[in-house]
């Protein structure tokens, strides 16, 4: 029995093990895909109706609350900016007269560099 024979036997056994593992995994993935498709169909059938009803109800409640606030004499608050927690400080800094580049550099830079930048500038 030569080394080549042992390598061929090992490669054949390894190939057989890998083939069986691949087929088993393929069967399991097929079952999982079928189960996911079934769950998606079930969720779409059972959940989409109540979710759309809740959305309509929420919009109606919002409109009713705005009408009630207007009737009570409360002004509607101004629209908020998208990502306001992020954009708010930058917008405020620009509004107070600092250039946008300077404001962003100040807010994005590390704390130790801020003090140093003030001394240099």
pLDDT tens digit sequence for 28-70: 999 999 999 999 988 888 888 888 899 999 999 999 988 888 8
Domain that holds residue 63: 1-77
What is the reported pLDDT for 21?
A: 96
pLDDT at residue 121 greater than cutoff 60: no
Three-state DSSP string of 24-47:
HHHHHHHHHHHHHHHHHHHHHHHH
Residue 24 · residue 32 · CB < 8 Å: no
Residues 11 and 62 in one domain: yes
Instruction: Give the whole-angstrom CA distance, residue 42 versus residue 36.
Output: 10
Q: What is 60-108 written as a DSSP string?
A: HHHHHHHHHHHHHTPPPPPPPPTTHHHHHHHHHHHHTT--HHHHHHHHH
Percent of all residues in the chain with a pLDDT value above 90, rounded to a whole number = 36
Residues 58 and 17 in one domain: yes
Residues 59 and 70 in one domain: yes
């Amino acid at each position: 029995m030569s080394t080549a024979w042992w390598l061929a036997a090992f490669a054949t056994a390894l190939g057989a093990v890998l083939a069986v593992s691949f087929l088993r995994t393929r069967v399991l993935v097929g079952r999982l895909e079928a189960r996911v498709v079934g769950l998606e169909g079930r969720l779409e059938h059972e959940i989409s109706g109540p979710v759309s009803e809740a959305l309509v109800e929420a919009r109606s409640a919002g409109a009713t609350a705005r009408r009630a606030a207007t009737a009570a004499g409360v002004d509607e608050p101004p629209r908020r900016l998208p990502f306001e927690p992020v954009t708010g400080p930058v917008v405020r800094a620009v509004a107070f007269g600092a250039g946008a580049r300077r404001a962003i550099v100040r807010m994005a830079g590390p704390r130790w560099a801020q003090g140093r930048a003030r001394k240099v500038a």
